[in-house]
Amino acid sequence: MDGASIARLVLRLAHAIAAVTWLGGGMYYALALRPQLAGAGDEAKALAARAQRAFVRWAFWATVVLIVTGIALMYDRLNAGGGTVVYVIILAVKVIAAAGAFFLTGIFTERRTKIRAITSAGRGRASVERHQRRIERAWMLVGLGMVAFVLGIALSSIYPTGVGH
Ligand code: HEM
């Protein structure tokens, strides 16, 4: 394997590890943690908020790695002449889905606000509605991330990379 192939492999592995970290955390939040908070007391909410705060750091760096390695992979593929019209369309849908998912996390804009919102969720109708909206948002976020994930796997399967050959 030459240097360029090793670099491509490292980029792909970094992208894949960041994707698993990002999506895995999102799924755990939407499937397990969030539903448990519906009728939970203040102590449980505070614990969940601390857990979220701890994960936000990992999610932030996973997002940075996804963007940096994603742009490098994209540049490499298009530069090598591998960008057919279908490839570019699928990639565009994937990048838009990923951008939507990143936007919904609010990771670059409201990291602290979101955590505060979880801890201070009071009682009453307004708080139930807020809770409901956050659940929907969590599902949209995971759904868009899943689209980006599946399209990434589809692209690298339909258009083999040649790494290792
Ligand atoms: C939620 C965010 C994202 C997830 C879950 C995700 C997931 C994945 C996965 C699983 C792969 C397949 C890796 C492989 O087997 O080689 C992949 C490939 C790729 N991703 Fe992402 N990705 C995300 C965001 C991005 C972003 C933001 C970009 C671009 C700026 C990007 C660009 C690419 C490119 C160019 C490939 C390689 C496609 C090819 O084989 O030509 N991804 N992605």
pLDDT in tens, 115-161: 444 444 455 666 666 666 666 888 899 999 999 999 999 999 998 87
Asked whether residue 164 is domain-assigned, the answer is no
Summarize pLDDT for 25-39 with one digit per residue, the tens: 999 988 888 888 888
pLDDT for 163: 75
Q: What is the pLDDT of residue 81?
A: 73
pLDDT of the residue at 119: 47
What are the pocket residues of ligand 1 if the criterion is a CB atom closer than 6 Å to any ligand atom?
12, 15-16, 19, 22-23, 66-67, 70-71, 73-74, 77, 91, 95, 98, 101, 145, 148-149, 152-153, 155-156, 159, 161
Question: What's the pLDDT tens digit per position in 34-59?
Answer: 888 888 888 998 999 899 889 999 99
Q: Which atom of ligand 1 is nearest to the CA of 63?
A: 2
Q: Is residue 32 a part of any domain in this protein? A: yes
- Per the structure, the count of domains in the chain is 1
- Domain annotation covers residue 88: yes
**Span from the CA of 75 to the centroid of ligand 1 (angstroms):** 12
Residue 18 CA to its chain's centroid (Å): 8
Nearest CA to ligand 1 atom 40: 156
When pLDDT is averaged across residues 57-68 and rounded to a whole number, the result is 96
Q: Flag whether 165 is in a domain.
A: no
Q: Please report the pLDDT score of residue 28 as a whole number.
A: 93
In a domain, 54, yes or no: yes
Q: Answer with the residue of higher pLDDT: 115 or 88.
A: 88
**For the whole model, what pTM was predicted?**
0.84
In a domain, 7, yes or no: yes
Instruction: Locate the ligand 1 atom nearest the alpha carbon of residue 73 and give its number.
Output: 35
- Ramachandran bin of 124, using left for φ above 0, alpha for ψ from -120 to 50, beta for the remaining angles: left
Q: Which domain holds residue 48?
A: 3-158
Q: Which three-class secondary structure string do you get for the chain?
A: CCHHHHHHHHHHHHHHHHHHHHHHHHHHHHHHHHHHCCCCCHHHHHHHHHHHHHHHHHHHHHHHHHHHHHHHHHHHHHHCCCCCHHHHHHHHHHHHHHHHHHHHHCCCCCHHHHHHHHHCCCCCHHHHHHHHHHHHHHHHHHHHHHHHHHHHHHHHHHCCCCCCC
